[in-house]
Amino acid sequence: MTTTHLTRRRLSAVALTSGIALLAAACSPGSTDSSGLPDEDPDNAIAEGQHEAPQLAEMVDAGELPPLEERIPDEPLVVDVLDEIGVYGGSWRREVSDVTELEATERRHIGYERLYNWTPEWEGGTETTENIATGVDVNDEGTEFTFHLREGISWSDGEPFTADDIVFAVEDFYFNEELRGAAVSDPRHLESGGPPEVEAVDDYTVTFRFDQPHGLFLQGIAEWATQDLTALPRHYLEQFHPDYNEENLDELVQESGLGSWIDLFQDRADPMRNPDLPVIYAWQVVEPLGDNTRVTFERNPYYWKVDPEGNQLPYIDEHIVQLVEDQELIKLDAMNGELEFQHVVGGPADRALIMDNAEQGGYRTITTNPDHMNTMAIHLNQTTPDETKREIFRNKDFRIGLSHAIDREEIIELVHFGQGEPYQMSPSTELFYDEELATQYTEYDVDLANQYLDDAGYEADESGRRIGPDGEPISITIDYASDVTDSWADALELVQGYWEEVGIGVELNGMNRSLHTELVRENGEHEATVWTGSGGLVPFMQTHWYFPSTAAADFGSAWGDWYMNPDDPNAEEPPEGPRRQMELYDQIKATVDPDEQVELMRELLGILKDEFYSIGISTPPEGIGVVTNRMHNVPDQMYNSTSWPTPGPTNTVQYFIRE
């Protein structure tokens, strides 16, 4: 379809089929009648004539806030409720055991607001729906995308959200040379042959132009990684940017006590730390992240979505997140009915106990389906700073031998309570499932393991320890985040025994997630580490376990740095196999032909089969979440995913609490 054709019949939704960016017309969501009033059913939970939270109505009456019709668009986004129209009020209480998890609240729970959002159903990582944008026009080549923004959206300070805010986010944040190096939000989904040219055609129309076709752009803007594209209010943040405030910026930096304008900008642009930052989210922070162990958000009076009866969302007054010592305390508090909705509680060992206690605890349980394909993948870092370990880890026979030395059935039985099957790092989605890739080298066979290790050239001494090229016994240090899940420590202790049986020493080094992120993800200093295999359902988007697409590819961090930026001081050019995968992925991004994208991805995965970077353990069991009987409109089942930032796409604004 040409741009002209698409313009004539504006798309109100985007369907991304088979993980590919295919555009298709879809019906707009339901709307209210011309009055925007809720029905007059006396049993309706919201009183007649009440279209906003009581606190906001009182502020309007007191002259402290404009009337509702002046605060929301003429055509607000109508959000379907899951079960019933809700009531206003209440606090959604949650707990986390790690600061990284706490920081994820913005993109997961209170701030999933993109141009296009993933749908609640998601269809295995394929479908998006209109959100801030009401339509998009795409040219035949896939190099130009014109988004039509919902008119009348306001920031939480009442200022209009416009195309200029998006231009500011792209030009002055994502692709500002100084900020880009310090940004948490990832610009890679916004590039194709280089940064885009972005034009504000008018206040409510913005066009992205790329040098090359961008076949994955529409999936990319629904991802968590591009969260800042629609989160940076230009009218507020330009005072902290040298391109707009050369005169007073040094004074502001000095007053802040921060080291540079970059530090100041990042601090002021953080919705978790800055109560003054205008947002377009349903809730805004009032008790920020800092020295506190608790973060509190309150409703945004200017939020731009309504329920099918015209009542302004969100229903819930406030969102409170408490940082606690460990996961065990979260489990106990959830089972006592003290947490309104916690989408992950405990592990496989706790499932029966949590379900049996539901009636007494005053809650129900929900199922969370993981999008990752593995419980614990072991990554030997082939770009580790230790040159001897590099040589050892790059030996494919060595990796195969270690894989055959693992008794996966025992790990599944003892650690995962019989839930799961032996599995390597392979997509779980039907479109890309390859049985050979998924199951190769998973057979537990000590003799075969020893044969591969012998073939690798590392013979055993008289005490059974295999000797490395430096003449020393081979010992591998595995750094892992001990506060993510108890199962990793239990499984690694078993792996330690299996590998020692074939002459390989293992040292386990548990640490908190924040330190692990710094050591492994940011600096690539590890010898080996473990993580779940993400991207099982969305291999086009979560690629770093299939080839070194980012520094998060723990089997080759410096290769991932090279793919992202060859001039990065940590970057190292990879060998032929991963380089070819990088070329194939570039081709995937450069075509809008869905069939061609699928074939290219299959070729990329074929190289993964040959390379065998990492050692998988087993398919993950379903997760369990807890919802109190006070909390409503929460689905019984949802994905647990970073790509689909749980539970954001379920429309948390329509959750409600009835005491």
Cα 629 to Cα 338, 366, 637: the distances in Å are: 11, 12, 16
Q: What is the mean pLDDT of residues 201-222?
A: 94
Judged against a pLDDT cut of 60, whether residue 61 lies above it is answered with yes
Place of tokens 């995968």: 581
Q: What is the mean pLDDT of residues 363-374?
A: 93
Contact 624, 368 (CB under 8 A): yes
Which pairing describes strands 127-130 and 13-15: parallel, antiparallel, or unpaired?
antiparallel
For residue range 283-318, what is the model confidence (pLDDT) as tens digits? Answer: 999 999 887 889 999 999 999 999 999 999 999 999
Structure tokens at 644: 């689909």
- Other beta carbons within 10 Å of 518: 12
Question: For the domain bounded by 3-28+114-230, which CATH number is listed?
Answer: 3.90.76.10
Choose between 627 and 523: higher pLDDT.
627
Question: What is the reported pTM?
Answer: 0.79
Structure tokens at 330: 């979260």
Task: Report the alpha-carbon distance of residue 428 to residue 416 in Å, rounded.
Answer: 19
pLDDT, position 27:
31
Task: Report the alpha-carbon distance of residue 590 to residue 584 in Å, rounded.
Answer: 10
Lowest-pLDDT choice from 4-8, 69-73, 317-321, 445-449? 4-8
Q: Assign residue 11 a region (left: φ > 0; alpha: ψ between -120 and 50; beta: otherwise).
A: beta
For residue range 111-132, what is the model confidence (pLDDT) as tens digits? Answer: 999 999 999 988 656 678 999 9
For every residue of 488-552, DSSP letters joined together read: HHHHHHHHHHHHHHTT-EEEEEEE-HHHHIIIIIIT---SEEEEEE--SS-TTT--TTTS--STT
Give 31's pLDDT tier (boundaries 50, 70, 90): very low
Which pairing describes strands 91-96 and 318-323: parallel, antiparallel, or unpaired?
parallel
- Other beta carbons within 10 Å of 31: 14
* Radius of gyration of the chain measured on its C-alpha atoms: 26
pLDDT, position 542:
85
Judged against a pLDDT cut of 90, whether residue 449 lies above it is answered with yes
Q: What is the mean pLDDT of residues 432-436?
A: 95
In one-letter notation, the amino acid at residue 640 is N
Question: Domain 374-611 belongs to what architecture?
Answer: Roll (3.10)
pLDDT, position 50:
56
For residue range 527-575, what is the model confidence (pLDDT) as tens digits? Answer: 999 998 888 888 888 899 999 999 899 999 999 999 989 999 999 999 9
Lowest-pLDDT choice from 3-7, 555-559, 629-633? 3-7
Question: In the sheet where 91-96 sits, what is the strand order?
Answer: 91-96, 318-323, 294-299, 283-287
Looking from the CA of 515 toward its CB, the CA atoms found within 13 Å total 9
Cα 392 to Cα 384, 385, 551: the distances in Å are: 11, 13, 21
Structure tokens at 140: 């035949």
Judged against a pLDDT cut of 60, whether residue 45 lies above it is answered with no
Q: Assign residue 612 a region (left: φ > 0; alpha: ψ between -120 and 50; beta: otherwise).
A: left
pLDDT, position 124:
57
In one-letter notation, the amino acid at residue 550 is T
Task: Report the alpha-carbon distance of residue 572 to residue 552 in Å, rounded.
Answer: 14
Class of domain 52-102+270-371+620-659: alpha beta
For residue range 228-258, what is the model confidence (pLDDT) as tens digits? Answer: 999 999 999 999 999 999 999 999 999 999 9
User: Hey, where are the domains in the chain?
Assistant: 3-28+114-230, 52-102+270-371+620-659, 374-611
Structure tokens at 167: 């231009």
pLDDT, position 630:
97
pLDDT, position 126:
65
Q: What is the mean pLDDT of residues 603-630?
A: 97
pLDDT, position 182:
57
Long-range contacts of the stretch 489-496 (C-beta < 8 A, 24+): 490/414, 490/415, 491/375, 491/376, 491/411, 491/415, 491/617, 492/376, 492/530, 494/407, 494/410, 494/411, 494/414, 494/415, 495/378, 495/406, 495/411
Task: Report the alpha-carbon distance of residue 28 to residue 78 in Å, rounded.
Answer: 9
Judged against a pLDDT cut of 70, whether residue 1 lies above it is answered with no
Residues β-bridged to residue 299? 283
Contact 248, 269 (CB under 8 A): no
Judged against a pLDDT cut of 60, whether residue 8 lies above it is answered with no
